[in-house]
């Protein structure tokens, strides 16, 4: 369905019982909600599972392409208002984690648990900002195909690249179906985002940090440090996966996610 929130139209997919505990999935870059295909299919027996396309990506409205992480967090919080499910479990991968972390920093009471997958709290350093500026130039001059081809080896682990050509093809397809203006806008949002490290120690909810063992963009050591900084944090390292764990090792990712959700579903929601 398409939902009008925060002066934009977001493409939203929801599975599972309307009155079930809600988990909201925020995808990574340069992908869209379809990276959550397996959780959308398989958690729906017990959980209201909601995934959406971040503004400018997938089938959500592109608008003017002038995005900030703050705007992405506004969109997520407005989507929660529209769904009206009470406190949810938020789950964000990489860029989705940046969005979720900022929303957690601003309105922690909206969440009763969080899953931070293949992500980080640090803002970009200068080298990364300049690399993003170069990639925006590539998008303008060469289009989405060369941009996606340059990103794929960083996104996917060595095992996936060697052994799972169908996954490589699916990730590439999601990337190239994006509008270059939306991709450039998301790069601007990421390069200008703030550091959210301070929020980890203040979180009063259970947090699961998930990371692919072969993730080179947000490596396991950083994930372990994030989990240690959260009072009720834990980490799951997924073998044979790089940065896009739910697509590279869907069964292992789902096992970790479901165990966490099941543990939480007995927890009372915060007042």
Q: For the chain, how are helix, strand and coil distributed in percent, rounded to 5?
A: 50, 15, 35
Rounded Cα–Cα distance for residues 84 and 63 (Å)? 25
Residues 177-216 that bind ligand MLT (CB under 6 A): 190
Q: At closest approach, how far in Å is the CB of 62 from ligand MLT?
A: 18
Asked whether position 222 contacts ligand MLT by CB under 6 A, the answer is no
Kindly list the distances between the CA atom of residue 37 and the CA atoms of 14, 41, 152, 239, 247, in Å, as whole numbers in the listed order.
Answer: 11, 6, 19, 20, 8
* Residue of 91, 95, 199, 252 interacting with ligand MLT (CB under 6 A): 95
Q: At closest approach, how far in Å is the CB of 33 from ligand MLT?
A: 13
Kindly list the distances between the CA atom of residue 137 and the CA atoms of 40, 181, 187, in Å, as whole numbers in the listed order.
Answer: 35, 11, 11
> Closer CB to ligand MLT, residue 192 or residue 265?
192
Binding mask 22-41 for ligand MLT (x = CB under 6 A): ------xx------------
> Closer CB to ligand MLT, residue 153 or residue 231?
153
Name 266's Cβ contacts closer than 8 Å, sequence gap at least 6. Answer: none
Q: At closest approach, how far in Å is the CB of 23 from ligand MLT?
A: 19
Beta bridge partners of 236: 210
Q: At closest approach, how far in Å is the CB of 155 from ligand MLT?
A: 6
Starting at the earlier edge strand, list the strands of the sheet with 48-52.
2-5, 8-15, 48-52, 22-26, 88-93, 111-117, 207-212, 233-238
* Residue of 94, 160, 178, 245 interacting with ligand MLT (CB under 6 A): 94
> Closer CB to ligand MLT, residue 54 or residue 80?
54
**Applying CB under 6 A, which residues contact ligand MLT?**
28-29, 94-95, 190, 217, 243
């Amino acid at each position: 369905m398409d939902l009008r929130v925060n002066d934009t139209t977001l493409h939203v997919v929801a599975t599972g019982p309307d009155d079930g505990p809600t988990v909201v999935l925020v995808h990574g870059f340069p992908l869209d909600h379809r990276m959550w295909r397996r959780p959308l299919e398989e958690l729906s027996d017990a959980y209201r599972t909601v995934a959406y396309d971040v503004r400018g990506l997938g089938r959500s409205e592109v608008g003017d392409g002038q995005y900030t992480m703050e705007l992405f967090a506004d969109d997520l919080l407005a989507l929660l208002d529209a769904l009206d499910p009470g406190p949810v479990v938020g789950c964000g991968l990489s860029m989705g984690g940046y969005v979720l972390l900022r929303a957690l920093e601003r309105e922690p009471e909206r969440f009763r648990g969080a899953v931070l997958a293949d992500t980080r709290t640090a803002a970009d350093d200068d080298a990364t900002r300049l690399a993003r500026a170069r990639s925006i130039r590539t998008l303008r001059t060469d289009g989405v195909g060369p941009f996606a081809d340059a990103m794929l080896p960083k996104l996917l682990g060595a095992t996936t690249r060697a052994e799972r050509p169908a996954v490589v093809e699916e990730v590439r397809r999601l990337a190239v179906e994006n509008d270059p203006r939306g991709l450039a806008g998301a790069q601007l949002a990421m390069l200008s985002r703030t550091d959210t490290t301070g929020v980890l120690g203040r979180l009063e909810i259970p947090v699961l940090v998930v990371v692919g063992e072969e993730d080179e963009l947000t490596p396991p050591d950083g994930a372990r440090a994030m989990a240690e900084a959260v009072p009720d944090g834990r980490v799951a390292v997924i073998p044979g996966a790089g940065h896009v764990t739910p697509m590279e090792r869907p069964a292992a990712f789902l096992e970790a996610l479901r165990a966490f959700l099941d543990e939480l579903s007995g927890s009372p929601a915060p007042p």
